[in-house]
């Protein structure tokens, strides 16, 4: 019993099927299906099933009948390519993702920096694909003829083409931006793959269990017909097995539809890794049913072309739905191929043929123009496929048509190998090789096909050159076209030179990491608004504004960005984004013309170092061998710099911040993201002025600089060193050097020292305590006696005299207490710099020292002009004098003299304290300024006095020296600077 179907029913079933596909695409695009489903690696794997077209679906059985297991080569080659993906597909995916390259023509145009390469690849791809598209149309019409037992009219084929045009536009050219991934398309193609796999497996199972009566019956049949198995194996040993393996290896990723799904619609590297084994498994399952279907056809002795056994066996004693399912499976395979191939080809034609030939007016919306252009091209390509279908010989086998396309795309393999693994390959070499390969392909395959179809009559005896037919023809064409292609590519590349741009692209293609090249130069446009204005002149204001906004968003930049390094990155990002829209070469030309580089501005390696570092960080896992070791070393050194407990700020030659380490963040309270790339003088106060000033200063070290941070004083030692640019020559490096500045925070040390000074003063007060008690005790005793006498005294004169004496004694007590209070109060360092009379603090210090026992027994002689003034911290300088005088009196014998001499000398005040004491041995003189060093008995001195004196004098930018001769005496000399305004003031008051 055989079934017969009406054309209208089958056409309607096809339309319904396409509508289901569109529904799947639509709900996926609308976000109604969870992302975790649509982005699952297995959806991606199934979408790659677009490789299996009607050639696989129908033609495999015919191929197996004619060439045995040779048909498996078409899938084994793909298996090899996918297993090889870490070294072949991954690098291409990295490039296409990083540089937004959507097709093979984009990839070649980018690597070889040639619009010609893009045009040539596109044209050849287009010509090479037409037979393949024609094959699909043939498969659909022939399958209809098998099911309906009548020759379908040409209008029906045209109707199918119209339907495919409509759905191709709906699937892939529905959105404004052609750059975005078509998740809906991927989901729909994955569904199509599932349908054709299911259909083929169902037909295979039908063959096994209904045509045969199960595996045992099949086994028995094979034993009875050993020639059936032999027919499968024999061609493997005799035919061009290796050639077909090689061709399918190339087709796995070079066919336009494969390239589009593999790289253009890929969402992650993980998906590709899964595909490396899962896609070959899909192909294995798809082909598992082929031998049983072939043998079932033989058993049934079907009188039809073995290419259509898949349909034929379902027409004999099968349920009514099975032929329709088998037909839908075949239609699914053909329509998926046509839709995806057309989308890929239309995109290539747009960027490499239409755009360079007729770039739209800036006032036209580029997105809309591109959208309608693509729609037009989709229609044109499918119709060209229909014309080709119409012209070719009707009995041309499906496999022959497919293999013509396979040999065509194999011509791109030398270029791809050069792109991935030969940095010195040149544009001229690539173009020469490709032209040579195309010439041989046209001569050996295309012309014979057209001649056999009666379309042309070349007059040449084409096959006579190789004297081969059948499968040998493919072997011949493949070998000679690739040999010619490869040899020309290598030889011309060796003898030609690369342009600088090409060299840069080659470097990007051969690097372990994405775009490692430092970005050199400064963009002339200095704001993002200027970017938009400049771009608007060519791509129109609306598109320019959207593209700049998109690039800013991609890079996480603000609209007010002005840093040259960041603007350079923005320029590069816009070029990449435009590359996805207009193709790499067109984008390159537009960017070079509109966003020009400032020829005057110079850059150093330091300017782009941040970009290089970011790229290295992003691509760490890709680095291997020495690169990985060097990267580890770099990270180690960088970590040292970042964790250094000193504030580190490195700047470029134009004083833009390059490094701002953790200590610097803590000191300043400014995170590094807010300063990196900015000029020093743009930093918040006080850091901007401080660092910018220091960067310009002649001094390489500034000690003890006081800065108010957050209203509180901080002290820093500043150091700087130049960083010569390694790229600059020794002669020119002087003008182009960066700087590294170190900030040593002394604030804690200063606070500690202030506490020590206070302790020292308290210790001094302790030592003075007995004297104080005595000094205060005497007047109080006097006052008490006078008060006692006043009770009995009536004479007003005596009473008045007593009151005067009491007041005098009280004044004396007040004076002593006042001196002590002044001396002992704790104050912060440097808080009170003021102008004061030097003599006043000398007298005060003497008064304090006199309170001690030793201080009383010596005479003090002051030689100091009354009006001599100093600027400084009065209390701390008083502490210095008390310490010096106390030491001098301790060292003196009763009745000795201590002289205090203060004179002005050349803008300085020289203060000497001389005693006639026992002196200090020379070996000890070196150590007396060290903290806790003392020559006194335990309990008599803290050892802090002179070290504090030394410290305080240093704070006042002065010096302290000792000149001592044992047995004769000691002279302490303090030199303090006298400020200019202070001198002027004194000059005025003296007159």
User: Alpha-carbon dihedral of residues 240, 246, 247, 248, nearest 10 degrees?
Assistant: 110
Identify which of residues 77 and 402 has a Cβ nearer to other proteins in the complex: 77
Q: How far is the CB of 287 from other proteins (least distance, A)?
A: 8
Stretch that binds other proteins, among 106-114, 282-290, 748-756, 774-782 (CB under 8 A): 282-290
Contact with other proteins (CB under 8 A): which of 86, 214, 766, 966? Answer: 86
Distance CA 676, CA 680 (A): 10
* C-alpha pair distances (Å), 919 with each of 209, 922, 970: 122, 9, 5
Question: Given the complex with other proteins, which of 621 and 729 has the nearer CB atom?
Answer: 621
- Comparing CA positions, the residue from 916, 926, 966 lying closest to residue 946 is 926
If the CB atoms of residues 200 and 590 are measured against other proteins, the closer one turns out to be 200
Q: Does residue 277 interact with other proteins by CB under 8 A?
A: yes
Q: Which is nearer to other proteins, 280 or 385 (CB)?
A: 280
Contact code string over 229-268 relative to other proteins, x by CB under 8 A: xx-xx--xx---xx--x----------------------x
Which residue, 277 or 372, is less far from other proteins as judged by CB? 277
CB-wise, 226 or 500, nearer to other proteins? Answer: 226
Residue 89 vs 680, nearer CB to other proteins: 89
Cα 653 to chain centroid distance, Å, stands at 23
The residue range among 254-262, 615-623, 696-704, 811-819 that interacts with other proteins, by the rule CB under 8 A, is 615-623
Q: Which of these, 416, 414, 457, lies nearest to 436 by C-alpha position?
A: 414
181 sits near other proteins (criterion: CB under 8 A): no
Tell the smallest beta-carbon distance from residue 271 to other proteins (Å). 10
- Which DSSP helix (H) or strand (E) runs through 910? strand 908-914
Closest contact distance (angstroms) between CB of 192 and other proteins is: 22
Q: Is-cis flag, bond preceding 784, omega within 30?
A: no
**Binder of other proteins out of 42, 84, 833, 933 (CB under 8 A):** 84
From 134-142, 272-280, 807-815, 816-824, give the range in contact with other proteins by CB under 8 A: 272-280
Inter-residue contact 888 to 970 (CB < 8 Å): yes
Provide the token pair at 419.
């792109």
3-class state of residue 438 by DSSP: helix
Binding flag, residue 622, other proteins (CB under 8 A): yes
Rounded distance between C-alpha atoms, residue 113 and residue 170, angstroms: 33
35/37 Cα distance (integer angstroms):
5
Closest among 869, 856, 859, 948 to 902, alpha carbons compared: 869
Q: Compute the least distance from the CB of residue 295 to other proteins, in Å.
A: 9
CB of 417: closest distance to other proteins in angstroms? 15
Which of residues 236 and 555 has its CB atom nearest to other proteins in the complex?
236
> What is the nearest approach in angstroms of other proteins to the Cβ of residue 263?
15
Give the span between the Cα atoms of 251 and 239, in whole angstroms. Answer: 20
3-state class (DSSP) for residue 650: strand
Does residue 280 belong to the site contacting other proteins (CB under 8 A)?
Answer: yes
Q: How far is the CB of 260 from other proteins (least distance, A)?
A: 21
DSSP conformational letter for 597? B
Using rule CB under 8 A, residue 214 touches other proteins: no
Please identify, using beta-carbon distances, which residue of 69 and 253 lies nearer to other proteins.
69
* Binding of other proteins by 281 (CB under 8 A): yes
Residue 372 beta carbon to other proteins: minimum distance, rounded to whole angstroms: 34
Q: Of the two residues 40 and 910, which places its CB atom closer to other proteins in the complex? A: 40
- Count of positions on this chain that bind other proteins (CB under 8 A): 41
Q: Which of 13, 163, 217, 273 binds other proteins (CB under 8 A)?
A: 273
Q: Give the span between the Cα atoms of 241 and 230, in whole angstroms.
A: 16
Is 284 a residue that touches other proteins (CB under 8 A)? Answer: yes
CB 947 within 8 Å of CB 931:
yes
Under rule CB under 8 A, residue 270 binds other proteins: yes
Q: Which CB, 209 or 443, lies closer to other proteins?
A: 209
Query: 387 is written with which tokens?
Result: 């014309």
Residues numbered 149-178 forming contacts with other proteins, rule: CB under 8 A = none
CA distance 52 to 60: 10
Q: What is the DSSP string of 682-751?
A: GSPTTHHHHHHHHHH-S-SEEEEEEEEETTEEEEEEEEEEEEE-TTS-TTTGGGSEEEEEEEEE-HHHHH
Q: Which residues of 166-197 are buried (b: 16+ CB within 10 A; e: fewer)?
A: bbbbbbbbbeeebbeebbbbbbbbbbbbebbb
Supply the minimum distance, in Å, between the C-beta of residue 582 and other proteins: 27
Write down the least CB distance from residue 647 to other proteins, Å.
36
CB of 274 to other proteins, least distance (A): 7
Strand order in the sheet with 969-977: 859-864, 897-905, 908-914, 969-977, 959-965
The interface mask with other proteins, positions 87-126, x = CB under 8 A, is: x---------------------------------------
- Shortest Å distance, C-beta 62 to other proteins: 18
CB of 281 to other proteins, least distance (A): 5
Q: Which is nearer to other proteins, 237 or 791 (CB)?
A: 237
Q: What is the largest CA-CA distance in the chain?
A: 162
* 293 contributes a contact to other proteins by CB under 8 A: no
Q: Which tokens in the block code for residue 982?
A: 């202070």
CA distances from 958 to 79, 136, 463, 477 (A): 84, 97, 104, 94
**At closest approach, how far in Å is the CB of 41 from other proteins?**
11
Strand 897-905 and strand 859-864: the pairing is: parallel
Of 168-176, 276-284, 725-733, 859-867, which part binds other proteins (CB under 8 A)? 276-284
Q: Give dist(CA 584, CA 118) in Å, integer.
A: 9
Q: Are 183 and 37 in contact (CB under 8 A)?
A: no
| Alpha helix stretches (DSSP H) within 718-873 | 747-792, 796-824, 838-849, 853-856
Q: With residue 670 as reference, give the H or E element that holds it.
A: none
* Of residues 181 and 593, the one with the C-beta less far from other proteins: 181
Using the rule CB under 8 A, give the single segment among 271-279, 470-478, 778-786, 813-821 that binds other proteins. Answer: 271-279
Q: Between 566 and 605, how does the x/- string for binding to other proteins read (CB under 8 A)?
A: ----------------------------------------
Residues 48-77 that bind other proteins (CB under 8 A): 69, 72, 76
CB of 550 to other proteins, least distance (A): 20
Contact flag: residue 630 with other proteins (CB under 8 A): no
Told to check if 459 binds other proteins by CB under 8 A, we report: no
3-class DSSP state of 904:
strand
Given 288, 387, 787, 965, the residue binding other proteins (CB under 8 A)? 288
Q: Measured from the CB of residue 237, what is the shortest distance to other proteins in angstroms?
A: 5
**10 Å Cβ neighbour count for 772?**
18
**Would residue 907 be called left, alpha or beta, if left means φ above 0 and alpha means ψ between -120 and 50 degrees?**
left
C-beta closer to other proteins: residue 274 or 596: 274
The binding site for other proteins (CB under 8 A) comprises 69, 72, 76, 79-80, 82-87, 222, 226, 229-230, 232-233, 236-237, 241-242, 245, 268-270, 273-274, 276-278, 280-281, 284, 287-288, 291, 621-625
């Amino acid at each position: 019993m055989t079934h017969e179907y009406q054309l209208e029913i089958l056409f309607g079933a096809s339309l319904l099927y396409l509508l289901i596909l569109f529904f799947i695409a639509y709900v996926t695009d609308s976000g109604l299906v969870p992302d975790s489903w649509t982005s699952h690696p297995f959806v991606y794997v199934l979408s790659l099933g677009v490789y299996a077209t009607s050639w696989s679906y129908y033609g495999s059985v015919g191929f197996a009948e004619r060439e045995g297991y040779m048909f498996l080569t078409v899938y084994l080659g793909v298996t090899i390519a996918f297993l090889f993906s870490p070294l072949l597909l991954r690098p291409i995916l990295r490039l296409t993702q990083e540089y937004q390259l959507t097709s093979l023509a984009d990839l070649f145009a980018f690597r070889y920096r040639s619009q010609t390469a893009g045009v040539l690849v596109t044209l050849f791809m287009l010509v090479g694909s037409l037979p393949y598209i024609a094959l699909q149309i043939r498969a659909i019409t022939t399958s209809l003829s098998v099911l309906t037992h009548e020759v379908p009219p040409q209008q029906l084929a045209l109707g199918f083409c119209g339907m495919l045009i409509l759905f191709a536009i709906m699937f892939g050219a529905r959105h404004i931006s052609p750059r975005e991934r078509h998740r809906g398309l991927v989901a729909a193609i994955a569904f199509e793959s599932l349908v054709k796999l299911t259909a083929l497996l169902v037909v295979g199972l039908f063959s096994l269990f209904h045509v045969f009566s199960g595996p045992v019956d099949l086994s028995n049949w094979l034993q009875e017909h050993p020639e059936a198995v032999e027919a499968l194996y024999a061609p493997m040993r005799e035919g061009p097995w290796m050639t077909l393996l090689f061709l399918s290896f190339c087709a796995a990723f070079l066919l336009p539809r494969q390239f589009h799904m593999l790289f253009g619609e890929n969402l992650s590297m993980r998906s590709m890794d899964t595909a490396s084994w899962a896609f070959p498994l899909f192909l294995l399952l798809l082909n598992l049913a082929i031998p049983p279907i072939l043998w079932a056809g033989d058993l049934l002795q079907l009188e039809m072309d073995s290419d259509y056994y898949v349909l034929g066996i379902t027409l004999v004693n099968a349920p009514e739905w099975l032929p329709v399912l088998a037909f839908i499976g075949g239609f699914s395979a053909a329509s998926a191929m046509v839709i995806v191939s057309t989308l890929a080809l239309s995109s290539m034609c747009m960027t490499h043929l239409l755009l360079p030939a007729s770039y739209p007016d800036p006032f036209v919306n580029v997105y809309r123009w591109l959208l309608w252009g693509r729609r037009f091209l989709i229609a044109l390509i499918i119709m060209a496929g229909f014309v080709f279908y119409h012209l070719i010989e009707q009995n041309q086998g499906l496999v022959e048509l497919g293999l013509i396309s396979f040999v065509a795309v194999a011509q791109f393999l030398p270029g791809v190998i050069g792109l991935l693994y030969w940095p010195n390959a040149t544009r001229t070499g690539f173009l020469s090789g490709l032209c040579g390969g195309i010439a041989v392909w046209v001569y050996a395959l295309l012309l014979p096909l057209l001649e056999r179809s009666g379309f042309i009559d070349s007059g040449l005896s084409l096959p006579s050159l190789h004297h081969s037919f059948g499968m040998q023809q493919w072997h011949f064409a493949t070998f000679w076209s690739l040999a010619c292609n490869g040899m020309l590519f290598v030889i011309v590349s060796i003898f030609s030179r690369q342009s600088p741009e090409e060299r840069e692209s080659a470097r990007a293609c051969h690097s372990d990491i994405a775009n490692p090249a430092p970005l050199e130069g400064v963009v002339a446009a200095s704001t993002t608004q200027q970017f938009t204005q400049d771009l608007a002149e060519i791509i129109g204001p609306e598109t320019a504004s959207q593209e700049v906004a998109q690039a800013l968003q991609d890079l996480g930049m603000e609209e007010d960005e002005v840093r040259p390094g960041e603007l350079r990155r923005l320029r590069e990002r816009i070029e990449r984004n435009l590359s996805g829209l207009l193709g790499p070469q067109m984008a390159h030309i537009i960017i070079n013309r509109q966003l020009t580089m400032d020829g005057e501005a110079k850059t150093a390696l330091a300017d782009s170092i941040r970009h290089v570092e970011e790229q290295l960080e992003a691509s760490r896992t890709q680095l291997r061998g020495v690169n990985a070791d060097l990267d580890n070393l770099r990270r180690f050194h960088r970590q040292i710099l970042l964790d250094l407990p000193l504030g580190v700020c490195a700047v470029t030659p134009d004083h833009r911040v390059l490094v701002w380490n953790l200590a610097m963040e803590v000191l300043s309270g400014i995170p590094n993201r807010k300063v990196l790339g900015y000029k020093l003088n743009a930093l918040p106060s006080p850091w901007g002025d401080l660092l910018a000033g220091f960067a310009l200063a002649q001094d390489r070290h500034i000690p003890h600089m006081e800065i108010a941070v957050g209203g509180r004083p901080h002290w820093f030692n500043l150091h700087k060193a130049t960083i010569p640019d390694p790229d600059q020559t020794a002669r020119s490096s002087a003008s182009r050097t960066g700087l590294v500045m170190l900030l040593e925070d002394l604030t804690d040390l200063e606070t500690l020292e202030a506490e020590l000074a206070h302790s020292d003063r308290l210790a001094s007060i302790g030592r003075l305590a007995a004297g104080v008690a005595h000094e205060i005790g005497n007047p109080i005793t006097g006052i008490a006696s006078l008060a006692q006498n006043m009770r009995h005294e009536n004479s007003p004169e005596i009473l008045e005299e007593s009151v005067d004496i009491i007041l005098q004694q009280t004044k004396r007590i007040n004076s002593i207490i006042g001196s002590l209070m002044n001396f002992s109060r704790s104050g912060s360092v440097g808080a009170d710099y003021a102008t004061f009379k030097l003599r006043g603090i000398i007298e005060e210090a003497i008064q304090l020292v006199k309170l001690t026992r030793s201080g009383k027994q010596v005479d003090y002689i002051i030689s100091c002009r009354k009006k001599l003034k100093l600027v400084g911290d009065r209390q701390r300088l008083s502490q210095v004098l008390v310490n010096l005088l106390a030491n001098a009196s301790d060292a003196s014998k009763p009745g000795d003299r201590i002289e205090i001499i203060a004179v002005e000398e050349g803008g300085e005040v020289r203060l000497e304290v001389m005693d006639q004491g026992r002196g200090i041995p020379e070996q000890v003189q070196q150590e007396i300024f060290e903290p806790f060093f003392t020559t006194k008995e335990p309990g008599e001195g803290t050892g802090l006095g002179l070290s504090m004196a030394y410290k305080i004098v240093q704070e006042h930018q002065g010096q302290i020296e000792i000149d001592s001769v044992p047995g004769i005496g000691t002279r302490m000399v303090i030199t303090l600077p006298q400020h200019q305004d202070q001198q002027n003031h004194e000059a005025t008051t003296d007159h």
